[in-house]
Amino acid sequence: MIKFLDNKFFCYLSIFLFLNTSIPSVKSASSLAAWAIKTNGVLELRTKSNTNLKAYFQKANQIYGDRFWVDFPGELANPRKIKGNGPIKEIRLGKPNNGKTRLVIEFKKNTYLNPLTWRMVGVDQNRWRIKLFNPKYSFKKIGEGLVDKKTRNTKANKNSSYMIKRNHDYLQLPKVKQNKFSVIIDPGHGGPDPGAIGIGGIRETDVVLEVSKIVKKLLSDKGVKVKLTRKNEVDLDLFPRVSIANKTNADIFVSIHANASRGKRRDINGLETFYFRGWKGRLLAKKIQKQILRVSPGSPDRGVKQGRFYVIKNTRMPAVLVEIGFLTGRIDARRLEKTTHRKRLAYAIAKGILEYLSKVG
């Protein structure tokens, strides 16, 4: 533990919240709407809805005291500094790079902090809180804007202009040349082979079939020719999956699976993407992995790996096998049950595929 505390970065908190499939563009205005540090040592934040936050802590060095900071999407208009009081030396709002906002809280020397216990909690779709220090320090509230302000209620958000915006965002998938590409999507397992069985009896075959069908729809809308290796619960061997791909001379092959851990351990969660050979396969895997992680906040990144699975080993085109989460995992299973999450994953897979196609052609 001591060694750990000696590290420069000794605490890393990562918090994400996605409430729908729209992903704000990088050029948007700051998603930080208001903030306040209250006398009880709690930092409260108000952001735009579906904001993706990252929080960090760094121990003091020669230049700075202990610092806690949060990064927000969207660019801050006016970088500024605010003098602190009590245990807080200074608060800085800046843009660490274009398109980002950073709120930094720097503490005075000899302030007792225990960041290992810190937890950022989402209290509402646009509100967050984290306890930073003990109320034993006398501190006068500092803040900007109203952190308690309610955003328009859900009813108001359902008006037509909001829906149009959402739909519009939803269609913001990369453009590719129409009718140029052909993609094989392979929903794993099927029929008598349900694949992994997870918490509450959730079956891999059902999950991956639904995700695959949505991927097909999204790609077809973009003018990509898509073939599913199976459209329903049929028993399909591995060989015909490969031969469909090789016969149609598809540009890429994407097999979709969900995982199960040995012993059905609920603490094992995460996403991973496999390829067998070639930089193209690896690139496709990377593009997909990056996108599926974005829609799976809090679930571990198990990485892009080389794997010797039959379907990616024997297909002739760039081929990947995506594992979209652990049906036996506490975090993943609860989400994979839901169609909303399956849609997000499908969107992410489609986005990864389109990014690959638009790049490699």
**By the criterion CB under 5 A, which residues form the site for Zn ion?**
188, 195, 257
Complex with Zn ion: residue 71 or 204, whichever CB lies closer: 204
Compute the least distance from the CB of residue 321 to Zn ion, in Å. 8
Compute the least distance from the CB of residue 205 to Zn ion, in Å. 8
Compute the least distance from the CB of residue 126 to Zn ion, in Å. 37
Compute the least distance from the CB of residue 102 to Zn ion, in Å. 41
Closest CB to Zn ion: residue number:
257
Complex with Zn ion: residue 124 or 193, whichever CB lies closer: 193
Complex with Zn ion: residue 122 or 194, whichever CB lies closer: 194
What is the distance between the alpha carbons of residues 359 and 361, in angstroms, rounded to a whole number? 6
Complex with Zn ion: residue 95 or 257, whichever CB lies closer: 257
Compute the least distance from the CB of residue 198 to Zn ion, in Å. 11
Complex with Zn ion: residue 67 or 189, whichever CB lies closer: 189
Compute the least distance from the CB of residue 212 to Zn ion, in Å. 12
Compute the least distance from the CB of residue 312 to Zn ion, in Å. 12
Complex with Zn ion: residue 92 or 203, whichever CB lies closer: 203
Complex with Zn ion: residue 174 or 194, whichever CB lies closer: 194
